[in-house]
Amino acid sequence: MRNPVILDTDPGIDDALAILLALISPEVELRGVTVTGGNCSMLAGLANARSVLSMARRSDIPVCAGVSTPLLRPLYTAAETHGASGLGYAVLPDATHAHTATHAVDFIIEEIMAHPGQVSLVPVAPLTNIAMAVRKEPRIVAAVKEVIIMGGAVRVDGNTTSLAEFNFYVDPHAAHIVMQSGMPITLVPWDITRDVMLYQSHIEQLLAIQSPVSRFLADATRFYLEFHLSSFGVAGCAINDPVALALTFWPDLAQYEYVHVDVEHVSELSMGKSVITYVGDTTHPPRDTDITGFNRSLGKWQNVYRPVPNVRLVTGFDHERFIARFVERMMQLAMQVPT
């Protein structure tokens, strides 16, 4: 049986890749794509989501406009990473179908409440729409099956400021609300996704298939590859968002740890920083923990203050297996959508 999934996006090159992965994955029933501002404006992202679905000949998938600006801060976009349009060098024809009239926040609420315990919510954007949905209909907290979020730099430097990852930096207040909501959250942070690299060799494989899908992937990622080379000195591009989507059906690719995560939303200097507290040992004070808080059996610092875990954090990921499977699925999709 296919698992109903809502993808909340700010498309965005890697958001587009997540949409395409959802379309070709037999495990997924993509119920809808919801959009907020982030990599580009909400309206540009909406047009991108519709064009990508049109290009893949899946105009039947609902696309919903969401909240345009973060809860309290002005929108901060990422044209240097994703290009002025949000899709790198890709130029897609305008979509022929309109977006769905339902607002993204209402769509999320309606889908989750109509199918309690069944819908996987996969936010790969600033968490504005999700925070609004939680505030508008708190019963979604208990009704959602799982929430798999791409966001946060938990144990590494940020990719937007030295402390913060982009999705959490853009709307730190929303990220804070969502983290504290009580929803069953799996967090896939930048710590993990920065190593999930697509290379030019993968693109060459795809280009062997004549299809609008392979041309789109080549044009969009060319920009992304150039950005990664000039900014990080690496020859590949990190495809963050498809990882979160993939964990709805390939959970075994990851290792997890239950922790507490909150998001800084007061200090300008550390805005959007993910603050982790390890909660592994339930004894108090933790067994094997010395006076400085160092836990000898875990080999890491463990705070004596231990709140209840609110997040299943991805701490390891088999990126080689994932990338091989991702490329394989993109090839399948390209073959399904011939020129």
CA distances from 70 to 42, 169, 187 (A): 11, 10, 20
The distance of closest approach from Cβ of residue 247 to ligand BDR in the complex, given in angstroms and rounded to an integer, is 14
Binder among 124, 174, 185, 213 for ligand BDR (CB under 6 A): 124
DSSP state letters, 115-157: STTTPEEEE-S-THHHHHHHHH-TTHHHH-SEEEEE---SSS-
The site string for ligand BDR over 173-212 (x = CB under 6 A, - otherwise) reads -----------------x----------------------
Q: Does 15 bind Ca ion (CB under 5 A)?
A: yes
Q: How far apart are CA 171 and CA 179, in angstroms?
A: 12
Binder among 5, 7, 8, 12 for ligand BDR (CB under 6 A): 12
Interacting positions 71-100 with ligand BDR (CB under 6 A): 78, 81
Q: What is the CB-side half-sphere exposure of residue 5 using CA atoms within 13 A?
A: 29
Tokens 């996969």 correspond to 122
Q: Does 129 bind ligand BDR (CB under 6 A)?
A: no
Q: How far apart are CA 107 and CA 121, in angstroms?
A: 12
Binder among 186, 240, 295, 302 for ligand BDR (CB under 6 A): 240
Extract the runs of DSSP E, i.e. beta strands, from 135-236.
146-150, 185-188, 197-198
Span interacting with ligand BDR, options 9-17, 98-106, 128-136, 137-145, rule CB under 6 A: 9-17
Name which of 148 and 279 has its Cβ closer to ligand BDR.
148
Span interacting with Ca ion, options 176-184, 204-212, 237-245, 290-298, rule CB under 5 A: 237-245
Find which of ligand BDR, Ca ion, none residue 81 binds, CB within 5 to 8 Å per kind. ligand BDR
Q: What is the total count of residues that contact ligand BDR (CB under 6 A)?
A: 15
Q: Does 166 bind ligand BDR (CB under 6 A)?
A: yes
Tokens 């119920």 correspond to 31
Amino acid at 277: T
Q: Does 241 bind ligand BDR (CB under 6 A)?
A: yes
Span interacting with Ca ion, options 98-106, 155-163, 240-248, 292-300, rule CB under 5 A: 240-248
Interacting positions 120-159 with Ca ion (CB under 5 A): 124-125
Position with the least CB separation from ligand BDR: 166
Residues in contact with 269: Cβ distance below 8 Å, sequence separation at least 6, in sequence order: none
Q: How far apart are CA 251 and CA 309, in angstroms?
A: 19
Measuring CA to CA, which residue among 115, 97, 122 is closest to residue 19? 122
Question: Is the distance from CB of 8 to CB of 125 less than 8 angstroms?
Answer: yes
End-to-end CA distance of the chain: 31
Name which of 81 and 289 has its Cβ closer to Ca ion.
81
Q: What are phi and psi of 210, to 5 degrees?
A: -75, 105
Q: What is the total count of residues that contact Ca ion (CB under 5 A)?
A: 6
Which tokens hold the place of 150? 């791409």
The helices-and-strands tally (H runs, E runs) of the chain is: 13, 13
Chain contacts with Ca ion (rule: CB under 5 A): 10, 12, 15, 124-125, 241
Chain contacts with ligand BDR (rule: CB under 6 A): 12, 14-15, 39, 78, 81, 124, 150, 159, 165-167, 190, 240-241
